[in-house]
Structure 1
Amino acid sequence: MNTFLLSLIDKRIEGAMIRFSQLPIRSSLLSSTHHELLEKLTKKVIDTYISFFQSVDMAPKEYYYGESTLIKIFNLSDLNRKKLKNFEKKLINLVTDPISPSVIPVYLPLHKSAQIFLYTGIGILDSPCHCVIFFLYELSIPRSLIGYSLSTLHYLETALDQVSNDEFSKSKPLRKLAADYGKNYNQFQKDCKDYFGDTFHQFHNKMKMLNVLDDILFTGYSFKEIAYRNDFSNYNSMYFLFSRKYGFPIHSIPRLLTEI
């Protein structure tokens, strides 16, 4: 696994926690009796992303996901920062407004000598008791399994962005796209294998699938609308890619707006 793929996975999980925290959660859910529901939904979001990354072979089996919840509770009215560990201080620094009830996205990468860790989840600011409760999950991978991406291959990110966002480039033949970057077709695909771990077309499809995953989880769009928004010709082609090619049934993805 190279640094590009690790960074991509981390950023998508970070983005997912931000979007989750921004959902129109009813204020009543921030009462203590509903903390359990938010904890359950947080785990459901992380479970879904990790399962997806494993299903499409973006995350290796050594990418560890601790499925048990790490719970941290802090009383903000009686908090001695000097007694906090460094990790706890990082969590408390995420509390920018201790008055308004809110859900706080958590994304804390930590590097140790042999492992790279990511702690992610949410914090629930409970103003009546003036405390914050964090529901966290640990992701990690041995540093020895991370290979550094060659800087000469960074052009592939530009090519991917070009095909994803430029209407003219979406229909451009791959040989022509490769020539735009001074590469012949075979060298271009070899570079893709080294950088993306996949052919250009297959990796582009996986990025489209990630965007579909975001839309299903965090919006109320219909499946047909989601297919159209993410450049699939129709729902059936989107369904085939998820369910048949990668064994990740599209209907297994939670629709959070129906649960909050």
Structure 2
Amino acid sequence: MPVQTDAELARAVALEAGALLRKLCATGDCSGATLGKRGDVQANAAIIAHLKAARPDDFILSEEAADNSARCSARRVWVVDPLDGTREFSEERDDWAVHIGLAIDGAPVTGAVALPASHKVFVTDDAPPAYPALSGRPRMVVSRSRPPAVAVAVAAALDAEMIPMGSAGAKAMAVVEGRADIYLHAGGQYEWDNCAPVAVALAAGLHASRIDGSALVYNCLNPLLPDLLICRAELAESVLTAIREADLD
């Protein structure tokens, strides 16, 4: 059997975990209160087993596994969120995701983001989309329950339509698909929340950065990575300017 590329591996692992999560509790033998935890645990186990078998020399940073600080000296680290949007999954919504990212020397090089409830997967080896020219108001995806103040301020400055949505992966892929133009987040994420989505977004030709415009760096000792901007490349300058000028007092 031919050796899989990293992107092929990411796709296969994301699809496997997504299929597992779709089947979980299909017989109704658990309540919503336990569904999310079971999803986290079972998807994590499947992902780690698959990655370790395929890339035994690589390190893995997963939201649902104990961290090994030895990864910080490694060039290749898989950054994984087995179930991004546990709340949405528990509520049996469709805006949850599986993230399989690979950082090499701190850069988000390869990624797969599965939206299992929609039977979709987005991978860095996909052909870049051909986005139509922007027209009308820009569309910004934001948190369903707690859009950050900076996103509200930027939406006002750009006259953007705010679209509430669940997980980080679902919001980022809405921009990749062209169903939204901006995803702006501040106030608390970790590397596993955005490594795979950022890799896919960059491969699609989108802008991705911290909200001060600096690069997103992965495999840090502290995996906190609290803010993120993914948007159409032609909007990046105006969004970053609006962020700098936002009055958040």
* TM norm structure 2: 0.30
* TM norm structure 1: 0.29
The structure with more radius of gyration: 1
Q: By percentage of residues, which structure has more helix?
A: 1
